[in-house]
């Protein structure tokens, strides 16, 4: 059955992957972004209605994170608008272990819409497509909470699971926690990347204050600095965030991708060797 599906954040890590999979399944996909027509802007609720018009279902990712101030208000307005627009179902991407995000989950669950909640752990792709990439290329990664154990999850696994629960109504009104198959520390993750890329990447543990200072000096915007500080202090220190889930197996019938396999595949693309190649 062909559906009209709005993918909010369709240019992001999971959204772009979800949109690509839906297109391969011959679904009608509309990307929810400021640059699309009609445009969708989280900071401008007047754009919500037109973006949702004619849609049957929606995948919701809030930028930059459901934990930030203003997220609950935006999610509340979006779900009210979606209900009026006649959407059949929404899937919300949430953060594993983020207490503030649970308020947004409750809004969706009580909206009157069919829904599925997907709580995800930290992405593998943070090391290849996000804020950890530049330090890796520089050969020196300095992070706080070096011994925190994290079940890093692959964005492709998240996207595949999202597409499944978005299209299959047997997953309506359920919550799934998506993690990788085992815990790793930042130190262990960097060592695996170092091994696979055949580079000597040094890892250094620093305090959260020093890390916050360093990213501020690097020109990171203030709201991102707050969010990163929150994720390190509140989320990584949360025992719930260190729990490995088998929900990937429940939804997809297979194990989640291991970080070692992610590191092997990503190293083959050469992304972690760019600085080495460019310096030759």
Q: What single string gives the DSSP state of each residue in 186-215?
A: HHHHHHHHHHHHT---EEEE--HHHHHHHH
The DSSP code sequence of 52-67 is HTT-SEEEE--SS-TT
- Block means of pLDDT (10 residues each) for the chain, length 280 residues? 96 97 98 97 98 98 92 98 98 90 96 98 94 93 93 97 98 97 97 97 96 89 84 79 93 98 98 66
The runs of H, that is alpha helices, within the chain are 13-24, 48-52, 71-85, 99-109, 133-138, 155-167, 186-197, 208-217, 222-230, 247-252, 259-269, 274-279
Which pair of tokens denotes residue 70? 């203003």
Q: Under a CB-based contact definition with an 8 Å cutoff, are residues 8 and 92 in contact?
A: no
Six-digit token string for 24? 């391969």
Q: How far apart are CA 119 and CA 109, in angstroms?
A: 14
Paired tokens of 276: 């080495």
What pLDDT shows up at residue 275? 61
Enumerate domains of the chain plus CATH numbers.
4-121+153-179+242-256 (3.40.50.720)
* Model pLDDT, residue 97: 81
Sequence-distant (≥ 6) Cβ neighbours of residue 274 within 8 angstroms: 137
User: Omega before 38 cis (within 30°)?
Assistant: yes
Strand partners, 31: 7
């Amino acid at each position: 059955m062909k559906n009209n599906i709005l993918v909010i954040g369709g240019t992001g890590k999971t959204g772009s992957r979800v949109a690509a999979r839906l297109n391969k399944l011959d679904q009608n996909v509309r990307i929810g972004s400021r640059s699309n027509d009609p445009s969708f802007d989280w900071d401008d609720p007047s754009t919500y209605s037109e973006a949702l018009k004619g849609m049957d279902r929606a995948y919701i990712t809030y930028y930059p994170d459901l934990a930030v101030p203003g997220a609950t208000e935006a999610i509340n307005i979006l779900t009210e608008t979606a209900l009026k627009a006649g959407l059949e179902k929404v899937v919300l991407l949430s953060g594993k272990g983020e207490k503030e995000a649970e308020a947004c989950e409750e809004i969706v669950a009580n909206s009157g819409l069919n829904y599925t909640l997907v709580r995800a752990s930290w992405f593998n792709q943070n090391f290849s497509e996000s804020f950890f990439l530049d330090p890796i290329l520089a050969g020196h990664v300095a992070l706080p909470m070096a011994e925190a154990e994290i079940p890093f999850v692959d964005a492709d696994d998240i996207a595949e699971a999202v597409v499944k629960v978005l299209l299959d109504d047997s997953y309506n009104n359920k919550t799934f926690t998506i993690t990788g198959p085992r815990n790793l520390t930042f130190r262990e993750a960097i060592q695996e990347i170092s091994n696979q890329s055949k580079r000597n990447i040094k890892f250094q543990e620093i305090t959260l204050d020093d890390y916050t200072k360093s990213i501020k000096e690097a020109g990171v915007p203030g709201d991102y600095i707050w969010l990163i500080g929150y994720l390190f202090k509140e989320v990584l220190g949360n025992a719930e965030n260190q729990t490995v889930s088998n929900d990937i197996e429940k939804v997809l019938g297979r194990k989640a991708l291991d970080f070692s396999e992610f590191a092997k595949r990503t190293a083959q693309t050469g992304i972690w060797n760019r600085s080495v190649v460019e310096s030759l």
